[in-house]
């Protein structure tokens, strides 16, 4: 049976960041285009997709009593969260440093969400005592 406890701060951080990123992926990202718009898809779309995967995995196991395998292709869920969160943060910093055009509200929320994902993933490592991060 899945863990029915209240979500931890790390899980709340990841779910919140994922939800915000999905919502703001449909708002102006650069110029008048969303993350899903021509010229931005699929690169800008990866940020909200990482947030969706991470948030959905936690939400399904916490609230829907879904028992997912402990590992996927030899990686634990905590490792997957750390990898996706790290990629999201690096991409967010990359978008912050690019001169693609005027940064719109959607881009700012994607940047903040990407950073929040890696923070949540590191917190998750500590909460679950995986030993991956000292």
Digitized pLDDT (tens) for each residue of the chain, 134 residues in all = 445 689 999 999 999 999 999 999 999 998 889 999 988 888 899 999 999 999 999 999 999 989 899 889 999 999 999 999 999 999 999 998 988 878 899 999 999 999 999 999 999 999 998 766 75
Q: What is the pTM of this model?
A: 0.90
The CATH code belonging to domain 9-127 is 1.20.120
Non-local (6+) Cβ contacts of 94 within 8 A are none
In the structure encoding, which two tokens stand for residue 131, read together? 């030993």
State how far Cα 115 lies from the chain centre.
Answer: 8
């Amino acid at each position: 049976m899945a863990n029915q406890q209240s979500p931890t701060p790390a899980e709340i951080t990841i779910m919140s960041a994922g939800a915000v990123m999905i919502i703001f992926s449909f708002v102006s990202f650069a110029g008048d285009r969303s993350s899903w718009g021509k010229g931005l898809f699929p690169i800008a779309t990866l940020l909200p997709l990482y947030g969706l995967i991470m948030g959905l995995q936690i939400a399904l196991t916490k609230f829907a009593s879904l028992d997912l395998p402990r590992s996927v292709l030899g990686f634990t869920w905590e490792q997957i969260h750390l990898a996706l969160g790290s990629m999201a943060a690096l991409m967010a910093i990359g978008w912050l440093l690019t001169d693609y055009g005027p940064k719109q509200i959607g881009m700012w929320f994607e940047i903040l969400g990407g950073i929040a994902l890696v923070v949540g993933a590191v917190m998750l490592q500590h909460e679950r005592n995986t030993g991956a991060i000292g």
